[in-house]
Amino acid sequence: MSALPAQRLLDAWQQCARHRHHLRHALQAVQRTLPLSAADLQAMDDEAVQDWDQLILRFAKLQDTMGSRLFPAVLEALQEGYEDRPMIDKLHRLEKLGYLGSAEQWHGLRVIRNRFAHDYPEDDALKAAYLNEAAQAVAVLEALLQGFEPLLHEPCSGRDGVAE
């Protein structure tokens, strides 16, 4: 792997690691409120609201950074040539190489993220359900990120040796 792709991969990984750190901290802060109910949501003080806001923000930032920086950096480091391909093609390639569990799992995490980015329901029970779902999905998102860590410690040749 040449120096520039290796540096891009390292930079993307470090940015993801920072978001993961803050996401873990936020999850720890909200852990005592889980599972969250509509009544819990209505009774939240400002500090609890900030904790949940941090969890949502870092969940979204980690997933966005993985999709926009880490995945392209991985494919570049592996010399896969997917820079101009649609995201779904990149996801399927990462899945085939063994770095991503499944494109469908990623899509499910994206749906969770988009619920907070695009609509904020007025129904407190629905908000609480979405927040609980996001808190549970943190472990899935972290596990997906962990699957890429071996690339930082070994030469980039791909896991299955498949070239396209």
Q: What is the pLDDT of residues 23-50, one digit of tens each?
A: 999 999 999 999 999 999 999 999 999 9
- Encoded tokens for 61: 């930032």
| Closest-CA residue to 141 (of 27, 22, 20) | 20
The whole-number pLDDT of residue 2 equals 73
Residue 156 scores a pLDDT above 80: no
Residue 158 scores a pLDDT above 60: no
The residue that leads in pLDDT, 60 or 1, is 60
CB 5 within 8 A of CB 73: yes
Q: What is the pLDDT of residues 44-72, one digit of tens each?
A: 999 999 999 999 999 999 999 999 999 99
Q: With a threshold of 0.85, does the pTM exceed it?
A: yes
